[in-house]
Amino acid sequence: MCDADHICRETLARGPGTVPLVSSYVLRDATRFLDSLFPPSSAESWDAVGLVAGDPAQPVRRVLLAVDPVGAVVDEAIEWGADLLVVHHPLLLRPVHSVAATTFKGALVHRLVRAGTALHVAHTNADSAAGGVADALAEAVGLVDLRPLVPAVLPAVDKHVVFVPEQQAEAVLDAMAAAGAGALGDYARCAWTTTGTGTFEPLPGAAPAIGEVGRRETVRETRLEMVAPRRARTAVVAAMRAAHPYEEPAFDVLELATLPAETGLGRVGSTQGSPSLGEFARHVAAVLPRTAHGVRVAGDLEAPVRTVAVVGGAGDSLFDQVRASGADAYLTADLRHHPASEAREQALFEGRGPALVDVSHFASEWPWLARAATRLEADAAAAGATVETRVSTLCTDPWTARFDSPEGPRQ
């Protein structure tokens, strides 16, 4: 009852020998690209992501992607000749003091190292990223017009405003940019300027760059505005002061409002055609890997489903956010009895609230693998290399069977 292979056998499970393997792509290139897609800094504080084993200089020609770093997946990686195994779940989530082969985790590390197969983890940093686990799950079940369920907060930003004589404005701008100001997306050295007249009178003890003590001066000045990460505030102000010709430059540092990002935990999207809950759940069962868990539903099967919230992996800690989103249904995994029961009771009491669609943890996260594989191949191709990827269709959900109770009352 556990089978991911029925979803996309031809497209996702490319066998060995189907692509001529020529690669100048090395592990350092692959991990740098994966970290750019799924920044380790966005992982939860308790998580363990990134490169677990492998030589950064080793060539990468074949990459296997899987949800779990379990024995069967390691077998598949080694038998296929993978140079890199990319997994979603960490093998070594908690601190360890030994990877001796006397434990199953240590034995897996030894097998990978002996085979020359590197191991890389993208876990909670892949959950919320653009094109990550949440996006892949939402798109797999047909949702459109996606937005984050719990938007991430963009890094805090300052706006620096400084007044500088026109002739020195470019030099000050360059110095502030070098210290981290003026970066906006894929653009650097972004600034806004206008000109006006500055006036001042140097007092006794001053050493003015322009003018004389006791004499009022007017100077044609540029108002220079640049944004910068708040963490770079000290460096940007110091660079501005060092480049500015004035003994006491006039400047402001304004703390800008923090805005929600386009990424974050989960996604909320619209269905196409407003299916009933029963129809939506059957569609979910058809497009996700088959597992012994199956698809469990709590709610009126005839009720229309127009808006759905999704969270890959365990999601019963986010019921408040799901209710606030106005979703008609909540698709996630690992729903426990008490949180699910309370969520349904609250929905019945209030006359509103999401129906629940519960799938296996493994099934909810598997769709992301194909996206990551495609992007990794494209990055290697852009570097002039050929990297063959393969998405494991082994079902690594731990449950292997389910037996329904016979119909009728129990004695």
Residues 6+ apart with CB under 8 A from 29: 60, 379, 380, 383
Global pTM reads 0.80
> What torsion, rounded to 10 degrees, do the Cα atoms 231, 42, 112, 65 define?
-140
Where along the chain do its domains lie? Answer: 5-123+366-391, 133-152+263-361, 157-258
Q: Which CATH architecture has domain 5-123+366-391?
A: 3-Layer(aba) Sandwich (3.40)
pLDDT of residue 352: 87
Q: Domain 157-258 has what CATH class?
A: alpha beta
Q: What is the pLDDT of residues 19-51, one digit of tens each?
A: 444 458 999 999 999 999 999 999 999 999 999
Neighbours of 394 (CB within 10 A): 20
Spell out where 302-352 has E strands: 307-314, 329-333
Domains 5-123+366-391 and 157-258 share a fold: no
* Listed residue (385, 386, 395, 391) closest to 371, CA to CA: 391
Residues in the chain with pLDDT < 50?
6, 8-22
pLDDT at 16: 42
Q: Which CATH number fits domain 133-152+263-361: 1.10.3720.10, 3.40.1390.30, 3.40.50.20, 3.10.580.10?
A: 3.40.1390.30
> Hey, what are 201's tokens?
């009178």
